[in-house]
Structure 1
Protein backbone atom coordinates (compact mmCIF):
# COMPACT_ATOMS: atom_id res chain seq x y z
CA UNK A 1 0.00 0.00 0.00
CA UNK A 2 1.11 3.55 -0.71
CA UNK A 3 1.41 6.13 2.09
CA UNK A 4 -1.67 8.32 2.43
CA UNK A 5 -1.10 12.04 1.89
CA UNK A 6 -1.73 14.17 4.95
CA UNK A 7 -3.18 17.10 3.00
CA UNK A 8 -6.99 17.06 2.61
CA UNK A 9 -8.14 15.45 -0.63
CA UNK A 10 -9.97 17.50 -3.22
CA UNK A 11 -13.21 15.71 -2.36
CA UNK A 12 -12.72 16.50 1.34
CA UNK A 13 -12.13 20.18 0.57
CA UNK A 14 -15.26 20.29 -1.57
CA UNK A 15 -17.22 18.49 1.15
CA UNK A 16 -16.06 21.00 3.77
CA UNK A 17 -16.94 23.96 1.55
CA UNK A 18 -20.46 22.75 0.75
CA UNK A 19 -21.09 21.53 4.32
CA UNK A 20 -20.07 24.88 5.80
CA UNK A 21 -22.23 26.78 3.31
CA UNK A 22 -25.20 24.67 4.37
CA UNK A 23 -24.46 24.84 8.10
CA UNK A 24 -23.81 28.60 8.04
CA UNK A 25 -27.10 29.26 6.26
CA UNK A 26 -25.60 30.46 2.98
CA UNK A 27 -27.31 27.57 1.21
CA UNK A 28 -30.88 27.61 2.48
CA UNK A 29 -33.18 24.58 2.78
CA UNK A 30 -34.52 23.54 -0.60
CA UNK A 31 -31.58 24.93 -2.59
CA UNK A 32 -31.09 22.87 -5.75
CA UNK A 33 -27.57 21.43 -5.86
CA UNK A 34 -26.39 21.11 -9.45
CA UNK A 35 -23.04 19.33 -9.77
CA UNK A 36 -21.89 21.33 -12.79
CA UNK A 37 -22.65 24.65 -11.10
CA UNK A 38 -20.95 23.66 -7.84
CA UNK A 39 -17.89 22.42 -9.71
CA UNK A 40 -17.63 25.71 -11.61
CA UNK A 41 -18.03 27.78 -8.42
CA UNK A 42 -15.35 25.77 -6.60
CA UNK A 43 -13.00 25.44 -9.56
CA UNK A 44 -12.95 21.64 -9.55
CA UNK A 45 -14.15 18.77 -11.71
CA UNK A 46 -17.51 17.06 -11.15
CA UNK A 47 -15.97 13.97 -9.51
CA UNK A 48 -15.06 15.50 -6.10
CA UNK A 49 -18.41 17.30 -6.06
CA UNK A 50 -20.19 14.01 -6.66
CA UNK A 51 -18.23 12.38 -3.83
CA UNK A 52 -18.91 15.28 -1.47
CA UNK A 53 -22.65 15.27 -2.19
CA UNK A 54 -22.80 11.55 -1.47
CA UNK A 55 -21.25 12.13 1.97
CA UNK A 56 -23.64 14.99 2.65
CA UNK A 57 -26.57 12.83 1.60
CA UNK A 58 -25.45 10.15 4.05
CA UNK A 59 -25.41 12.82 6.78
CA UNK A 60 -28.94 13.92 5.79
CA UNK A 61 -27.81 17.44 5.02
CA UNK A 62 -28.73 16.80 1.38
CA UNK A 63 -31.78 14.95 0.09
CA UNK A 64 -32.74 13.55 -3.29
CA UNK A 65 -36.16 14.62 -4.54
CA UNK A 66 -36.84 12.12 -7.28
CA UNK A 67 -36.25 13.46 -10.77
CA UNK A 68 -35.67 16.94 -9.35
CA UNK A 69 -32.20 15.95 -8.15
CA UNK A 70 -30.36 16.85 -4.95
CA UNK A 71 -31.43 19.67 -2.66
CA UNK A 72 -30.37 21.07 0.70
CA UNK A 73 -32.46 19.15 3.25
CA UNK A 74 -35.34 20.95 4.96
CA UNK A 75 -35.19 21.73 8.67
CA UNK A 76 -37.35 19.06 10.25
CA UNK A 77 -38.70 19.11 13.81
CA UNK A 78 -38.55 15.32 14.19
CA UNK A 79 -34.90 15.31 13.10
CA UNK A 80 -34.13 17.99 15.70
CA UNK A 81 -35.70 15.86 18.44
CA UNK A 82 -33.84 12.73 17.33
CA UNK A 83 -30.49 14.51 17.27
CA UNK A 84 -31.08 16.05 20.69
CA UNK A 85 -32.07 12.71 22.19
CA UNK A 86 -28.56 11.53 21.38
CA UNK A 87 -26.87 14.78 22.35
CA UNK A 88 -28.36 14.93 25.85
CA UNK A 89 -26.94 11.49 26.66
CA UNK A 90 -23.49 12.41 25.35
CA UNK A 91 -23.41 15.78 27.15
CA UNK A 92 -24.44 14.29 30.47
CA UNK A 93 -21.87 11.51 30.17
CA UNK A 94 -19.12 14.01 29.31
CA UNK A 95 -20.13 16.26 32.22
CA UNK A 96 -19.97 13.40 34.70
CA UNK A 97 -16.58 12.21 33.48
CA UNK A 98 -15.11 15.74 33.57
CA UNK A 99 -16.45 16.28 37.08
CA UNK A 100 -14.80 13.06 38.27
CA UNK A 101 -11.47 14.05 36.74
CA UNK A 102 -11.64 17.55 38.22
CA UNK A 103 -12.36 16.14 41.68
CA UNK A 104 -9.42 13.75 41.41
CA UNK A 105 -6.72 16.33 40.57
CA UNK A 106 -6.45 19.98 41.55
CA UNK A 107 -3.79 20.56 38.87
CA UNK A 108 -6.03 19.08 36.20
CA UNK A 109 -8.96 21.16 37.48
CA UNK A 110 -6.81 24.30 37.25
CA UNK A 111 -6.11 23.56 33.58
CA UNK A 112 -9.84 22.95 33.02
CA UNK A 113 -10.60 26.33 34.60
CA UNK A 114 -7.96 28.18 32.58
CA UNK A 115 -8.98 26.75 29.24
CA UNK A 116 -12.69 26.96 30.03
CA UNK A 117 -12.44 30.62 31.03
CA UNK A 118 -10.69 31.41 27.74
CA UNK A 119 -13.48 29.77 25.75
CA UNK A 120 -16.15 31.58 27.76
CA UNK A 121 -14.49 34.95 27.18
CA UNK A 122 -14.11 34.33 23.45
CA UNK A 123 -17.71 33.11 23.23
CA UNK A 124 -19.04 36.23 24.92
CA UNK A 125 -17.02 38.38 22.52
CA UNK A 126 -18.45 36.44 19.57
CA UNK A 127 -21.98 36.91 20.92
CA UNK A 128 -21.47 40.65 21.09
CA UNK A 129 -20.40 40.71 17.43
CA UNK A 130 -23.88 39.40 16.55
CA UNK A 131 -22.59 37.07 13.85
CA UNK A 132 -24.70 33.90 13.99
CA UNK A 133 -22.27 31.42 12.34
CA UNK A 134 -19.39 32.78 14.44
CA UNK A 135 -21.44 32.54 17.65
CA UNK A 136 -22.52 28.98 16.88
CA UNK A 137 -18.91 28.03 16.12
CA UNK A 138 -17.88 29.16 19.61
CA UNK A 139 -20.86 27.34 21.12
CA UNK A 140 -19.73 24.12 19.44
CA UNK A 141 -16.20 24.80 20.66
CA UNK A 142 -17.36 24.93 24.29
CA UNK A 143 -19.10 21.58 24.08
CA UNK A 144 -16.25 20.04 22.10
CA UNK A 145 -13.93 21.16 24.89
CA UNK A 146 -16.06 19.30 27.46
CA UNK A 147 -16.02 16.19 25.27
CA UNK A 148 -12.23 16.43 24.96
CA UNK A 149 -11.72 16.88 28.69
CA UNK A 150 -13.93 13.88 29.48
CA UNK A 151 -11.05 11.60 28.52
CA UNK A 152 -13.32 9.46 26.33
CA UNK A 153 -12.45 10.15 22.66
CA UNK A 154 -15.54 8.31 21.40
CA UNK A 155 -17.84 10.99 22.78
CA UNK A 156 -16.48 13.64 20.40
CA UNK A 157 -16.41 11.18 17.51
CA UNK A 158 -20.04 10.24 18.09
CA UNK A 159 -21.17 13.83 18.63
CA UNK A 160 -19.58 15.15 15.43
CA UNK A 161 -22.16 13.38 13.28
CA UNK A 162 -24.92 15.31 15.06
CA UNK A 163 -23.27 18.73 15.25
CA UNK A 164 -23.25 19.22 11.46
CA UNK A 165 -27.03 19.02 11.44
CA UNK A 166 -27.46 21.01 14.64
CA UNK A 167 -25.13 23.81 13.53
CA UNK A 168 -27.41 24.76 10.66
CA UNK A 169 -30.52 24.73 12.84
CA UNK A 170 -28.79 26.77 15.53
CA UNK A 171 -27.68 29.40 13.02
CA UNK A 172 -31.25 29.72 11.79
CA UNK A 173 -32.53 30.11 15.35
CA UNK A 174 -29.98 32.77 16.27
CA UNK A 175 -31.17 34.82 13.31
CA UNK A 176 -34.67 34.85 14.81
CA UNK A 177 -34.18 34.51 18.57
CA UNK A 178 -32.09 36.26 21.19
CA UNK A 179 -30.62 33.32 23.10
CA UNK A 180 -26.97 34.28 23.20
CA UNK A 181 -26.99 35.68 26.75
CA UNK A 182 -28.85 32.64 28.11
CA UNK A 183 -26.57 30.18 26.33
CA UNK A 184 -23.34 31.63 27.68
CA UNK A 185 -24.71 32.08 31.20
CA UNK A 186 -25.58 28.38 31.15
CA UNK A 187 -22.12 27.55 29.84
CA UNK A 188 -20.69 29.44 32.82
CA UNK A 189 -22.93 27.51 35.24
CA UNK A 190 -21.87 24.19 33.69
CA UNK A 191 -18.17 25.03 33.99
CA UNK A 192 -18.64 26.10 37.62
CA UNK A 193 -20.37 22.82 38.45
CA UNK A 194 -17.62 20.81 36.77
CA UNK A 195 -14.97 22.65 38.78
CA UNK A 196 -16.94 22.21 42.00
CA UNK A 197 -16.84 18.43 41.56
CA UNK A 198 -20.64 18.22 41.70
CA UNK A 199 -21.52 15.41 39.29
CA UNK A 200 -25.27 15.58 39.91
CA UNK A 201 -25.39 19.33 39.32
CA UNK A 202 -23.20 19.18 36.21
CA UNK A 203 -25.36 16.44 34.65
CA UNK A 204 -28.56 18.32 35.51
CA UNK A 205 -27.24 21.61 34.10
CA UNK A 206 -26.02 19.87 30.95
CA UNK A 207 -29.48 18.31 30.45
CA UNK A 208 -31.29 21.60 31.13
CA UNK A 209 -29.03 23.35 28.63
CA UNK A 210 -29.69 20.79 25.89
CA UNK A 211 -33.45 20.69 26.51
CA UNK A 212 -33.64 24.49 26.53
CA UNK A 213 -31.86 24.63 23.19
CA UNK A 214 -34.16 21.98 21.75
CA UNK A 215 -37.25 23.88 22.92
CA UNK A 216 -36.00 27.12 21.34
CA UNK A 217 -35.21 25.37 18.06
CA UNK A 218 -38.61 23.67 17.86
CA UNK A 219 -40.43 26.88 18.73
CA UNK A 220 -38.55 28.81 16.05
CA UNK A 221 -39.18 26.11 13.44
CA UNK A 222 -42.89 26.31 14.22
CA UNK A 223 -42.97 30.10 13.95
CA UNK A 224 -40.91 30.60 10.77
CA UNK A 225 -40.67 29.06 7.35
CA UNK A 226 -37.25 27.67 6.40
Structure 2
Protein backbone atom coordinates (compact mmCIF):
# COMPACT_ATOMS: atom_id res chain seq x y z
CA UNK A 1 0.00 0.00 0.00
CA UNK A 2 1.34 3.42 -0.96
CA UNK A 3 0.51 6.16 1.52
CA UNK A 4 -0.93 9.38 0.14
CA UNK A 5 1.04 12.18 1.75
CA UNK A 6 0.61 15.93 1.33
CA UNK A 7 3.45 17.83 -0.31
CA UNK A 8 5.33 20.20 1.99
CA UNK A 9 6.74 23.64 1.41
CA UNK A 10 10.43 24.32 2.00
CA UNK A 11 11.20 25.93 5.36
CA UNK A 12 14.08 26.07 7.86
CA UNK A 13 12.35 23.44 9.99
CA UNK A 14 11.65 21.11 7.07
CA UNK A 15 12.97 18.02 8.87
CA UNK A 16 10.52 18.71 11.68
CA UNK A 17 7.68 19.09 9.17
CA UNK A 18 8.63 15.76 7.60
CA UNK A 19 8.76 14.15 11.05
CA UNK A 20 5.27 15.39 11.89
CA UNK A 21 3.85 14.42 8.50
CA UNK A 22 5.22 10.89 8.80
CA UNK A 23 4.11 10.59 12.41
CA UNK A 24 0.59 11.65 11.38
CA UNK A 25 0.62 9.04 8.61
CA UNK A 26 1.76 6.36 11.05
CA UNK A 27 -0.86 7.42 13.61
CA UNK A 28 -3.67 7.46 11.04
CA UNK A 29 -2.62 4.11 9.62
CA UNK A 30 -1.87 5.30 6.08
CA UNK A 31 1.64 4.09 6.87
CA UNK A 32 0.64 0.75 8.33
CA UNK A 33 2.39 -1.27 11.06
CA UNK A 34 5.08 -3.41 9.46
CA UNK A 35 5.03 -1.51 6.16
CA UNK A 36 8.44 -1.07 4.51
CA UNK A 37 9.45 2.52 3.78
CA UNK A 38 12.26 4.09 1.79
CA UNK A 39 13.77 7.56 1.86
CA UNK A 40 13.37 7.87 -1.90
CA UNK A 41 9.66 7.10 -1.97
CA UNK A 42 8.86 9.34 1.00
CA UNK A 43 10.92 12.21 -0.42
CA UNK A 44 9.10 11.93 -3.74
CA UNK A 45 5.65 11.92 -2.15
CA UNK A 46 6.47 14.86 0.13
CA UNK A 47 8.23 16.75 -2.67
CA UNK A 48 11.36 17.31 -0.59
CA UNK A 49 14.98 16.20 -0.81
CA UNK A 50 16.20 13.03 0.87
CA UNK A 51 18.12 14.94 3.56
CA UNK A 52 15.14 16.07 5.72
CA UNK A 53 13.54 12.65 5.23
CA UNK A 54 16.71 10.96 6.48
CA UNK A 55 16.79 13.26 9.52
CA UNK A 56 13.10 12.63 10.26
CA UNK A 57 13.48 8.86 9.93
CA UNK A 58 16.42 8.94 12.32
CA UNK A 59 14.23 10.66 14.92
CA UNK A 60 11.32 8.34 14.26
CA UNK A 61 13.59 5.35 14.78
CA UNK A 62 14.93 6.79 18.04
CA UNK A 63 11.36 7.38 19.25
CA UNK A 64 10.32 3.84 18.35
CA UNK A 65 7.98 4.53 15.43
CA UNK A 66 10.15 2.92 12.74
CA UNK A 67 12.69 0.12 12.99
CA UNK A 68 15.11 -1.91 10.89
CA UNK A 69 13.24 -4.17 8.49
CA UNK A 70 14.19 -7.83 8.04
CA UNK A 71 17.03 -7.98 5.54
CA UNK A 72 17.58 -4.27 4.97
CA UNK A 73 15.82 -0.91 5.03
CA UNK A 74 13.20 0.35 7.46
CA UNK A 75 9.62 -0.47 8.34
CA UNK A 76 6.89 1.05 10.48
CA UNK A 77 7.20 -0.50 13.94
CA UNK A 78 4.41 -3.03 14.58
CA UNK A 79 2.07 -2.23 17.44
CA UNK A 80 2.91 -4.18 20.59
CA UNK A 81 -0.44 -4.75 22.34
CA UNK A 82 1.06 -5.88 25.65
CA UNK A 83 3.24 -2.79 25.95
CA UNK A 84 0.35 -0.53 24.93
CA UNK A 85 -1.90 -2.04 27.61
CA UNK A 86 0.77 -1.16 30.17
CA UNK A 87 0.97 2.41 28.84
CA UNK A 88 -2.81 2.73 29.00
CA UNK A 89 -2.90 1.40 32.54
CA UNK A 90 -0.76 4.33 33.63
CA UNK A 91 -2.73 6.74 31.46
CA UNK A 92 -5.99 5.48 32.97
CA UNK A 93 -4.80 6.18 36.49
CA UNK A 94 -3.84 9.72 35.47
CA UNK A 95 -7.19 10.30 33.75
CA UNK A 96 -9.23 9.25 36.77
CA UNK A 97 -7.09 11.43 39.02
CA UNK A 98 -7.57 14.36 36.64
CA UNK A 99 -11.37 14.12 36.52
CA UNK A 100 -11.61 13.83 40.30
CA UNK A 101 -9.52 16.96 40.82
CA UNK A 102 -11.35 18.83 38.04
CA UNK A 103 -14.72 17.88 39.56
CA UNK A 104 -13.62 19.11 42.96
CA UNK A 105 -13.08 22.48 41.27
CA UNK A 106 -16.41 22.24 39.34
CA UNK A 107 -14.66 23.08 36.08
CA UNK A 108 -16.79 23.71 33.00
CA UNK A 109 -15.06 22.62 29.80
CA UNK A 110 -15.39 24.65 26.61
CA UNK A 111 -18.37 23.33 24.56
CA UNK A 112 -16.27 23.88 21.42
CA UNK A 113 -14.24 20.80 22.41
CA UNK A 114 -17.25 18.59 21.79
CA UNK A 115 -18.32 20.36 18.61
CA UNK A 116 -14.82 19.88 17.27
CA UNK A 117 -14.82 16.18 18.11
CA UNK A 118 -18.24 15.47 16.63
CA UNK A 119 -17.38 17.43 13.50
CA UNK A 120 -14.26 15.28 13.03
CA UNK A 121 -16.39 12.15 13.40
CA UNK A 122 -18.93 13.44 10.88
CA UNK A 123 -16.13 14.06 8.37
CA UNK A 124 -14.49 10.71 9.05
CA UNK A 125 -11.18 12.52 9.60
CA UNK A 126 -9.12 10.23 11.84
CA UNK A 127 -6.32 12.76 12.39
CA UNK A 128 -8.85 15.40 13.45
CA UNK A 129 -10.53 12.86 15.76
CA UNK A 130 -7.20 12.13 17.44
CA UNK A 131 -6.39 15.85 17.78
CA UNK A 132 -9.84 16.56 19.24
CA UNK A 133 -9.46 13.71 21.71
CA UNK A 134 -6.10 15.07 22.86
CA UNK A 135 -7.66 18.53 23.26
CA UNK A 136 -10.42 17.09 25.49
CA UNK A 137 -8.03 15.19 27.73
CA UNK A 138 -5.58 18.08 27.88
CA UNK A 139 -8.43 20.34 29.02
CA UNK A 140 -9.18 17.90 31.84
CA UNK A 141 -5.54 17.72 32.85
CA UNK A 142 -5.31 21.50 32.98
CA UNK A 143 -8.58 21.71 34.90
CA UNK A 144 -7.14 19.38 37.54
CA UNK A 145 -4.79 22.12 38.66
CA UNK A 146 -1.77 19.81 38.86
CA UNK A 147 0.66 20.34 35.96
CA UNK A 148 2.40 17.04 36.68
CA UNK A 149 -0.70 15.14 35.53
CA UNK A 150 -0.52 16.55 32.01
CA UNK A 151 3.26 16.29 31.84
CA UNK A 152 3.10 12.62 32.84
CA UNK A 153 0.20 11.75 30.53
CA UNK A 154 1.86 13.31 27.49
CA UNK A 155 5.09 11.32 27.87
CA UNK A 156 3.70 8.49 25.74
CA UNK A 157 1.09 10.46 23.83
CA UNK A 158 2.58 9.85 20.38
CA UNK A 159 2.44 6.10 20.91
CA UNK A 160 -1.11 6.41 22.19
CA UNK A 161 -1.95 8.31 19.00
CA UNK A 162 -0.96 5.21 17.02
CA UNK A 163 -3.24 3.01 19.08
CA UNK A 164 -6.09 5.50 18.76
CA UNK A 165 -5.57 5.65 15.00
CA UNK A 166 -5.94 1.89 14.88
CA UNK A 167 -9.01 1.86 17.13
CA UNK A 168 -10.74 4.69 15.25
CA UNK A 169 -10.63 2.73 12.00
CA UNK A 170 -13.79 1.18 13.45
CA UNK A 171 -16.68 3.59 12.88
CA UNK A 172 -18.63 1.93 15.71
CA UNK A 173 -16.32 3.57 18.26
CA UNK A 174 -16.36 7.11 16.96
CA UNK A 175 -19.67 8.68 18.02
CA UNK A 176 -19.99 6.92 21.41
CA UNK A 177 -16.63 8.36 22.46
CA UNK A 178 -18.04 11.88 22.40
CA UNK A 179 -21.23 10.85 24.19
CA UNK A 180 -18.97 9.49 26.94
CA UNK A 181 -16.80 12.61 26.94
CA UNK A 182 -19.83 14.85 27.37
CA UNK A 183 -21.17 12.72 30.23
CA UNK A 184 -17.79 12.95 31.98
CA UNK A 185 -17.66 16.72 31.45
CA UNK A 186 -21.17 17.13 32.88
CA UNK A 187 -20.26 15.22 36.04
CA UNK A 188 -17.13 17.35 36.38
CA UNK A 189 -19.10 20.60 35.99
CA UNK A 190 -21.63 19.43 38.60
CA UNK A 191 -18.84 18.70 41.05
CA UNK A 192 -19.74 15.00 41.20
CA UNK A 193 -16.24 13.59 41.61
CA UNK A 194 -17.39 10.02 42.28
CA UNK A 195 -19.52 9.88 39.14
CA UNK A 196 -16.88 11.58 37.01
CA UNK A 197 -14.25 9.10 38.13
CA UNK A 198 -16.57 6.12 37.59
CA UNK A 199 -17.49 7.31 34.09
CA UNK A 200 -13.85 7.85 33.16
CA UNK A 201 -12.89 4.43 34.47
CA UNK A 202 -15.66 2.74 32.48
CA UNK A 203 -14.77 4.77 29.38
CA UNK A 204 -11.16 3.68 29.73
CA UNK A 205 -11.96 0.02 30.30
CA UNK A 206 -14.27 -0.21 27.28
CA UNK A 207 -11.84 1.53 24.97
CA UNK A 208 -8.91 -0.57 26.15
CA UNK A 209 -10.82 -3.83 25.78
CA UNK A 210 -11.81 -2.94 22.22
CA UNK A 211 -8.26 -2.07 21.24
CA UNK A 212 -6.86 -5.21 22.86
CA UNK A 213 -9.31 -7.26 20.80
CA UNK A 214 -8.30 -5.47 17.60
CA UNK A 215 -4.60 -5.97 18.27
CA UNK A 216 -4.74 -9.64 19.06
CA UNK A 217 -6.91 -10.37 22.05
CA UNK A 218 -4.58 -9.18 24.79
CA UNK A 219 -6.50 -9.02 28.05
CA UNK A 220 -6.93 -5.40 29.15
CA UNK A 221 -6.45 -4.39 32.74
CA UNK A 222 -9.21 -2.61 34.61
CA UNK A 223 -7.52 0.78 34.44
CA UNK A 224 -6.05 0.60 30.93
CA UNK A 225 -7.06 3.36 28.54
CA UNK A 226 -6.98 4.21 24.88
CA UNK A 227 -8.53 7.65 24.96
Name the TM-score class by shorter chain.
0.7 to 0.9
**2:213 alignment partner, one of 210, 213, 219:** 219
Higher helix share: 1
Note if 1:40 corresponds to 2:44. Answer: yes
Q: Which runs of 5+ in 1 are unaligned?
A: 1-6, 103-108
Note if 1:196 corresponds to 2:200. Answer: no
Distance 1:158 1:191 in 2: 21
CA RMSD of aligned residues (A): 2.3
Distance 2:179 2:25 in 1: 29
Instruction: After superposition, give the CA deviation of every residue in 1:165-202 in whole Å (9 maximum; x if it has no partner).
Output: 22222222222350123211211121011112122222
Assess, with a 3 A threshold, how the Cα gap between structure 1 residues 39 and 94 changes in structure 2: closer, same or farther.
Answer: same
Note if 1:173 corresponds to 2:167. Answer: yes
Distance 1:97 1:213 in 2: 22
Distance 1:96 1:72 in 2: 37
Q: TM-score, normalised by structure 1?
A: 0.80
Q: TM-score, normalised by structure 2?
A: 0.80
For 1:1-226, what aligned pairs fall within 5 Å after superposition? 9-65=13-69, 67-102=71-106, 109=107, 112-113=108-109, 115=110, 117-222=111-216
Assess, with a 3 A threshold, how the Cα gap between structure 1 residues 204 and 8 changes in structure 2: closer, same or farther.
Answer: farther
Q: Which runs of 5+ in 2 are unaligned?
A: 1-10, 218-227
Kept in 2, the 8 Å contact 1:92–1:206? The answer is yes
Deviation at 1:87, TM superposition (A): 0.9
Deviation at 1:213, TM superposition (A): 0.8
Q: Determine helix, strand or coil for the equivalent of 1:179.
A: helix
Assess, with a 3 A threshold, how the Cα gap between structure 1 residues 204 and 33 changes in structure 2: closer, same or farther.
Answer: same
Kept in 2, the 8 Å contact 1:27–1:72? The answer is yes
How many residue pairs are counted as aligned between the two chains?
Answer: 207
